[in-house]
Amino acid sequence: MDRIVWWLFSFLTLYDFIPGLISRVFGFRVFRRGQAGQEIAITFDDGPNPEYTPRLLDLLKRHNAKATFFVVGAKAEKHPEIIKRMYDEGHSIGIHNYVHRSNWIMSPRTVKRQVQRTSDILYEITGRRPMFYRPPWGILNLFDFAQLRHYQIVLWSGMFGDWKVKTGEEKLYRRMRKQLAPGEVYVLHDCGTTFGADERAPEMMLAALSRILDDGDRMGLRYVGVGELIEITETIKADEKERRAAGGKQEGRNGRSVPKPGPMKRLVVWLWMQWEKLFHVIFRVKPIGDGDFMHYRIVRYSGKELRFDNGSVLKRGDKVLEMHFDNEKMYEVGMNAKSSVHIAIRVIREVQRALPDMAKEIKRIDKDESIKALYGVSMINRGAEGLGFETFDLPKGLFSIMTQWYLKLLMSIIHPEGGGRVRKHRDTIEPRIIAMARERALSWESGEKSAEISEAYRSKRPGLAAKE
């Protein structure tokens, strides 16, 4: 009997307690607090609620405040019109499981199913996959870090007891006011029907939040989504690292100092660029449109079958327009970027600019409609789904191993932090297939979709749009 108890205790410690401890105390693989000059992130769990969430959205709109909603999939499925409004008004949407159940009492497979089901629901409503995940009660199990590696796990720096009516509006306000500062991540609740909460508690939360938003406006704070706060934080950290580094600097195009490549790196870059030119000649890689950032070639797809959300299927032997970045331009972007986030933003924007030209090129050269998709493999894939791409895991095998080696070598060359960035983040930097079905690609032909995406980007990230 003692052995069984000891085994159970050991299992629970490994599966539940230790992962929770290292994520809460040490912040391992999670985002809890940012660094910012005037930005703060307010997040809401457990919704949407048909009574309180629309009132909350009205309040946020009056203050031009953006928030992040970690929604329960079953409730999102029941109230898609509220989710659509969140998205249309520029708020970020994350996953809070399909039902509000702790990851400690669910198997890894069940957690994965809950997350995927919620992701599918949100994609069906908004046309975009969520990037952020918060487990109920902030509780993680041992396997969450590995199987949810494509999501940014977000916890909080401030929790205030807003789910209990007995807290009271005044006490809740004072608690929130005490932590009202740039970089904080508040967690509040726009639904009181979950276990342990009071159904009318959101009424008190809304009253206290209204006062906090007024205070923040007077202090000059900006209420932003978690994604923007993460981007600002990474930029500040990159700048601080540069200021600490002494010597070996050169001035970048944007006026900031960047690390000066050593002679060995300059040689490697030169050899790489020669290979780039040879590759373009041998494999007949052509530029897209008037730009020189994106190139393409038409090839036969040779991987495993890919199923797109619109029902179409990419099969082995189908023709695809294979996308290629110009590595010389990528190197210039990397050496003038503040962080990997800025590299990703630049790349996504260049792809966005090129998509209308890709659509026109498909119509020009493909009279028999045999090109089935746009296709590429890239380590810079975060944000691609916002442009209409779908991402897939690389099939395991020699191709996957060689591709990972090649792209990590490329990243170590183009990134301002060099190979150190790849070694430090080898568990999160992962190449994936990015592909877009033909019909969706052709929808970019008029350029209207590009303008729509640009406007959505500016409305959600005004600070970054101004800096870029």
Q: What is the pLDDT tens value at each position of the chain, 468 positions in all?
A: 444 444 444 433 343 444 444 444 444 468 999 999 899 999 999 999 999 999 999 999 999 999 999 999 999 999 999 999 999 999 999 999 999 988 777 888 899 899 999 999 999 999 989 999 999 988 876 667 666 777 889 999 999 999 999 999 999 999 999 999 999 999 999 999 998 899 999 999 999 999 999 999 999 999 999 999 998 998 888 777 777 765 544 444 444 444 555 666 666 667 767 777 787 788 888 888 665 678 899 999 988 899 998 899 999 999 999 998 877 777 666 666 556 666 777 778 788 888 998 999 999 999 889 999 999 987 766 667 778 899 888 877 766 666 666 656 665 555 545 444 444 444 445 678 999 999 999 999 865 554 555 444 444 444 333 333
Query: Residue 300: is it exposed, middle or buried by C-beta count within 10 angstroms (0-12/13-18/19+)?
Result: exposed
Among 16, 45, 144, 357, the one annotated catalytic: 45
CA-to-CA distance for 323 and 242, rounded, in angstroms? Answer: 33
Q: β-strand 286-287 against 249-251: which pairing, if any?
A: unpaired
Among 100, 189, 295, 342, the one annotated catalytic: 189
Query: Residue 384: is it exposed, middle or buried by C-beta count within 10 angstroms (0-12/13-18/19+)?
Result: buried
Whether residue 189 lies in the annotated active site: yes
Query: Residue 243: is it exposed, middle or buried by C-beta count within 10 angstroms (0-12/13-18/19+)?
Result: exposed
Q: What's residue 265's pLDDT?
A: 60
CA-to-CA distance for 142 and 69, rounded, in angstroms? Answer: 25
Name the nearest CA neighbour of 305 among 297, 314, 296. Answer: 314
CB 232 within 8 A of CB 38: no
Structure tokens at 339: 């962080």
CB 127 within 8 A of CB 147: no
Delimiting residues of CATH 3.20.20.370 domain(s) in the chain = 2-231
Whether the model clears a pTM of 0.75, i.e. scores above it, the answer is no
Q: What's residue 290's pLDDT?
A: 60
Superfamily, domain 2-231: Glycoside hydrolase/deacetylase (3.20.20.370)
